[in-house]
Amino acid sequence: DTAVSQTPKYLVTQMGNDKSIKCEQNLGHDTMYWYKQDSKKFLKIMFSYNNKELIINETVPNRFSPKSPDKAHLNLHINSLELGDSAVYFCASSLALGYNEQFFGPGTRLTVL
Amino acid sequence: KQEVTQIPAALSVPEGENLVLNCSFTDSAIYNLQWFRQDPGKGLTSLLLIQSSQREQTSGRLNASLDKSSGRSTLYIAASQPGDSATYLCAPRGGSNYKLTFGKGTLLTVNP
Model pLDDT for residues A17-45, shown as the tens digit of each residue: 999 999 999 999 999 999 999 988 889 99
Rg for chain B, CA atoms, rounded = 13
Average confidence score pLDDT of chain A? 91
pLDDT classification of A1: cutoffs 50, 70, 90? low
Distance from B51 to chain A by nearest Cα, in Å?
8
pLDDT classification of B8: cutoffs 50, 70, 90? very high
Least confident window among A25-29, A59-63, A109-113: A59-63
Task: Give the pLDDT mean for B18-38.
Answer: 95
Residue B23 host element (H or E): strand B19-25
Distance from A81 to chain B by nearest Cα, in Å?
22
With beta carbons less than 8 A apart as the criterion, state whether B106 and B10 touch: yes
| Nearest C-alpha neighbor of A65 from the set A54, A73, A76 | A76
Report the residue from B45, B87, B98 with minimal CB separation from A97.
Answer: B98
Q: Judge whether residue B96 has pLDDT over 90.
A: no
Q: Give the β-pairing of A19-25 and A4-7.
A: antiparallel
Strand partners of residue B8: none
Per-residue pLDDT at A29: 94
Count of C-beta atoms within a 10 Å radius of residue A69: 9
For residues A81 and B111, give the distance between their C-alpha atoms in angstroms, rounded to a whole number. 41
Report the residue from A40, A43, A56 with minimal CB separation from B89.
Answer: A43
Specify the amino acid at residue A62. Answer: N
Per-residue pLDDT at B53: 92
Average confidence score pLDDT of chain B? 94
Q: Judge whether residue B11 has pLDDT over 90.
A: yes
